[in-house]
Amino acid sequence: MSGKLRVVPIETPRVKHDHIEIEFTTGQCLRLNDPRRFGALLFTETNADEHKLLAMLGPEPLTDEFNADYLFERSRNKKQPIKTFIMDNHQVVGVGNIYANEALFKAGIHPKRAAGAISKVRYERLVKHIKETLAEAIRQGGTTLRDFTRVDGSPGYFAQKLQVYGRGGKMCMVCKKPLREIRLGQRSTVYCTQCQR
């Protein structure tokens, strides 16, 4: 979210919010700087997937395990809005607010539509766009909005590709209608009333 994991020379002075440091024999160290304290370092003697904090997590979105069949089955009888459903780490990990907005727009799905009311064909489109959106964001180095930077300190450039997130009230790039911004799951949600059903 807002923390940084950096590899730096051991002699690099620590700064405020450096909470974890692991020193290597190479003269480098791994540091976690996390002002909001969302990050954690977990030790386990068993398979990491069996750790109590990780065992209940959904699949990584860029794996074959995350597919339309999986998402369709998990969504049956769910009244939860699709946007909060795909942002739920118990369903799939790593689909954050920005990328959920973008993938739903590209898939033409209204963010408030009940997850259980979406057809398998539409889930196929959604999964495709989640994967494409995340892959493109990785290629662009992430989305720099405020304090995010890449490991080398440079900004991510995916923000320049955003079609809806952060554009509430502006014109849709497809149909030219004004984009609407609401709060959903306590998160900013931007969508097109014309393009997303």
Of residues 110 and 54, the one with the higher pLDDT is: 110
Q: Please tell me whether residues 88 and 34 are part of one structural domain.
A: no
Residue type (1 letter), 95: V
- 37 backbone φψ class: left, alpha, beta (φ>0; ψ -120 to 50): left
Q: Which of 118-127, 155-164, 177-186 has the lowest mean pLDDT?
A: 155-164
Q: Please tell me whether residues 16 and 79 are part of one structural domain.
A: no
User: What is the pLDDT at residue 1?
Assistant: 55
- 161 domain-assigned: yes
- Alpha-helical (H) ranges within the chain are 68-75, 82-86, 97-107, 120-139
Q: pLDDT of 127-155, one tens digit each?
A: 999 999 999 988 877 664 445 454 555 55
User: What is the number of structural domains in the chain?
Assistant: 2
* Domain range enclosing 88: 59-191
Q: Please tell me whether residues 78 and 127 are part of one structural domain.
A: yes
- 46 domain-assigned: no
Q: Please tell me whether residues 5 and 63 are part of one structural domain.
A: no
- Ranges of beta strands (E only) in the chain are 4-9, 18-23, 28-33, 180-184, 187-191
Pairing of strands 28-33, 4-9: antiparallel
CA distance 60 to 194: 31
What is the CATH number for 120? Answer: 1.10.8.50
Q: Please tell me whether residues 67 and 149 are part of one structural domain.
A: yes
Do residues 75 and 123 touch, judged by C-beta distance below 8 A? yes
- For residue 31, give Cα distances in angstroms to 25, 48, 67, 98: 15, 21, 35, 26
- 171 domain-assigned: yes
Handedness of CA 120, 105, 182, 155 (dihedral sign): positive
Mean pLDDT of 113-124: 98
Q: Please tell me whether residues 1 and 67 are part of one structural domain.
A: no
User: What is the pLDDT at residue 36?
Assistant: 82
Q: Please tell me whether residues 97 and 183 are part of one structural domain.
A: yes
Q: Please tell me whether residues 177 and 117 are part of one structural domain.
A: yes
Q: pLDDT of 185-197, one tens digit each?
A: 999 999 999 999 9
- 111 domain-assigned: yes
Mean pLDDT of 78-93: 98
- 19 domain-assigned: yes
Whether the pTM exceeds 0.85: the reply is: no
- 73 domain-assigned: yes
- For residue 3, give Cα distances in angstroms to 13, 123, 159, 177: 17, 32, 19, 36
Q: Please tell me whether residues 35 and 95 are part of one structural domain.
A: no
Q: Please tell me whether residues 2 and 63 are part of one structural domain.
A: no
pLDDT range class, residue 105, cuts 50, 70, 90: very high
Q: Please tell me whether residues 92 and 36 are part of one structural domain.
A: no
Q: Please tell me whether residues 186 and 130 are part of one structural domain.
A: yes
- 197 domain-assigned: no
Q: pLDDT of 2-45, one tens digit each?
A: 678 889 999 999 999 999 999 999 999 999 998 888 787 888 88
Do residues 132 and 62 touch, judged by C-beta distance below 8 A? no
- 117 domain-assigned: yes
